[in-house]
Amino acid sequence: MPELNPQMAKILELMAEAMKDRPPRVTLSPVEARAQSSATFEAFWNADRPTLWAVYNREIPGPGGPVRVRLYDPGIARPAPCLIYVHGGGWVICNLDTHDGACRRLALAGAFMVASVEYRLAPEHKFPAGLEDCVAAVRWIAAHGAGWGIDPGRLAIGGDSAGANLALATLLSLRDAGDQLVRAGLLIYGAYAAATDTPSCHAYGDGSYILSSDDIDWFWGHYLNDAADKSNPLAAPLLADLRDLPPILLTACEFDPLLDDSRRLAARLEEAGTPHRFVFWPGVTHACIHMTRMLDVAQNHIEDMGSWVREQLAG
């Protein structure tokens, strides 16, 4: 039988206690859900964020107006390799600040710069607005990142949860346009298809493990324009032709309703002949990379991901 990491179990107890008097996310408006996320998540899990040599807030042009980018520099020689990072949050919540600690740790673990992208959120900006911002960010950094000390020939893209979805869709969009701008993809416990009728959703989607099946349906409902978008491979990249992509590191948590999304994606990448590595994280839940202050294995996972990206961007 699956067993929770003891530290993870304690975290879940504390989170359940903190949330017991708060309304479920699916009963909130997107604006209310963002405020709740900032109040309950952002400050606590970023309280132990490490210090970097420099952190810069920048803006770049995007298809819907300026796109905010936060650049994390661990103090490495320039021109430096760079991971373009796309935050999670179901396309609806979260921002540069919620993922600040995770981006700092990735930059230190991999000895590369991290450029965190604040794409437009749904439902104010539905699919494909956020994806268009991510594609625009990669193109801009490839063309102009040298001015930030970035080596445009050593770029990777990554993200967690909905950010993993957007990172993979960005790789697909660039490939379809004939643009080989990115050397690797980092996909952390992602959502790759608009479906909750999976074994992992049935096993772990009751709300006991941070993310529920109802949450997943709520997020997809805000992100997509209509039912037809569920079949669009740029919205649901599990349905895409996955050939001719750069090497991909795919990670998944054991106690996560999205576990089967990653398992299915790993099988599809294998069928496509796309170089990839699938890493299963036992005993932990969705969002675990933020929990380093209480979950020892979270830092181990970040170190492993940083090392893999660094290897892909070497030379």
* Residue 286 annotated to the active site: yes
Among candidate residues 99, 286, 290, 301, the one labeled active-site is 286
Among candidate residues 161, 200, 212, 213, the one labeled active-site is 161
With tokens 């999205």, the residue in question is 258
* Residue 161 annotated to the active site: yes
Nearby residues of 81 by Cβ (< 8 Å), 6 or more positions away = 112, 113, 150, 151, 154, 155, 156, 310, 313, 314
Among candidate residues 160, 215, 256, 260, the one labeled active-site is 256
Task: Output the CA torsion sign for 256, 260, 265, 271.
Answer: positive
The one-letter code for the residue type at 117 is V
Radius of gyration from C-alpha coordinates of the chain: 18
* Residue 73 annotated to the active site: no
Query: What's the longest Cα–Cα distance across the chain?
Result: 52
Task: Output the CA torsion sign for 236, 96, 286, 138.
Answer: positive
C-alpha count within 13 angstroms, C-beta hemisphere, residue 17:
6
Strand order in the sheet with 248-255: 54-60, 67-73, 113-118, 80-86, 150-160, 184-188, 248-255, 276-285
> Which residues belong to the active site?
161, 256, 286
